[in-house]
């Protein structure tokens, strides 16, 4: 017996099982809002531009046996080439989710305030980046693509001012 026309429109939503989520995956990550003071003593923030031209901060997956703070420091070294950095403190965490084929990925990212020392112009962008640049704080805040990171940038700037970092 053929399906009646009024049910045919629902088949496109329920008939194709390959599009359904088969697994939920949790991925803990960590990263940092990296800052320095320029020659005019103004705060600058380091941002990376991904392949889709979105500006963000360096971050990556926490490896087994690693703390979130260790991950943030490691990822900054790997992604932007800065190894002389100081973790000032934890700013907060952000949650987001995305779909990877038949998996729903739930990502929680721990974000740290990080001060760059030494030759802060000696950055090296990772292969996934289309650009890597220091911005004055206000420009960085305008460029950042993700609202949750923007909120943590405001907290970072408040802490930088309050603690005279």
Instruction: Classify residue 104: in a domain, yes or no.
Output: yes
Distances in Å between the Cα of 116 and the Cα atoms of 44, 80, 86, 109 are 10, 11, 7, 20
Closest CA relative to residue 114, chosen from 145, 151, 70: 70
Instruction: Classify residue 10: in a domain, yes or no.
Output: no
Instruction: Classify residue 65: in a domain, yes or no.
Output: yes
The beta strands (E) that lie in the chain are given as 23-37, 43-50, 55-56, 59-61, 85-100, 103-116, 129-136
pLDDT at 158: 97
Tell me, what CATH number does 57's domain have?
A: 3.90.79.10
Q: What is the mean pLDDT of residues 128-153?
A: 94
* Total tally of structural domains belonging to the chain: 1
Query: Where in the sequence is the domain holding 72, given as residue range(s)?
Result: 22-162
Report d(CA 92, CA 111) in Å as an integer: 6
Q: What is the mean pLDDT of residues 26-40?
A: 95
Q: Is the pLDDT of residue 12 over 70?
A: no
pLDDT at 33: 98
Instruction: Classify residue 95: in a domain, yes or no.
Output: yes
Q: What is the pLDDT of residues 98-118, one digit of tens each?
A: 888 888 888 899 999 999 999
Report d(CA 74, CA 114) in Å as an integer: 12
Task: Tokens for 41, please give them.
Answer: 């003593």
Distances in Å between the Cα of 65 and the Cα atoms of 55, 68, 79, 132, 157 are 30, 10, 20, 29, 31
Instruction: Classify residue 5: in a domain, yes or no.
Output: no
Read off the pTM.
0.83
The half-sphere exposure of 17 on its side-chain side, counting CA atoms within 13 A, is 1
Please, are residues 116 and 165 in contact by the beta-carbon 8 Å criterion?
no
Instruction: Classify residue 56: in a domain, yes or no.
Output: yes
Q: State what percent of residues in the chain have pLDDT above 70.
A: 88
Q: What is the pLDDT of residues 52-73, one digit of tens each?
A: 899 999 999 999 999 999 999 9
Instruction: Classify residue 124: in a domain, yes or no.
Output: yes
Report d(CA 97, CA 144) in Å as an integer: 18
- 61 SS3 class: strand
Instruction: Classify residue 14: in a domain, yes or no.
Output: no
């Amino acid at each position: 017996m053929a399906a009646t026309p009024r049910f045919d429109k629902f088949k496109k939503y329920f008939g194709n099982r390959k599009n359904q989520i088969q697994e939920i995956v949790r991925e803990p990550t960590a990263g940092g809002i990296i800052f320095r003071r320029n020659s005019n003593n103004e705060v600058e923030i380091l941002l990376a531009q991904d392949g889709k031209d979105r500006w963000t901060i360096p971050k990556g997956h926490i490896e087994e046996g690693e703390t979130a703070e260790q991950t943030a420091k490691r990822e900054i070294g790997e992604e932007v080439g800065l190894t002389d950095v100081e973790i000032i403190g934890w700013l907060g965490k952000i949650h987001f989710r995305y779909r990877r084929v038949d998996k729903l990925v739930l990502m929680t990212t721990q974000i740290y305030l990080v001060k760059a020392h030494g030759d802060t112009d000696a950055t090296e962008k990772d292969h996934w980046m289309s650009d890597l640049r220091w911005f004055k704080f206000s420009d960085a805040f305008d460029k950042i693509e993700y609202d949750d990171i923007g909120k943590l940038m405001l907290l970072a700037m408040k802490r930088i001012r309050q603690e005279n970092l």
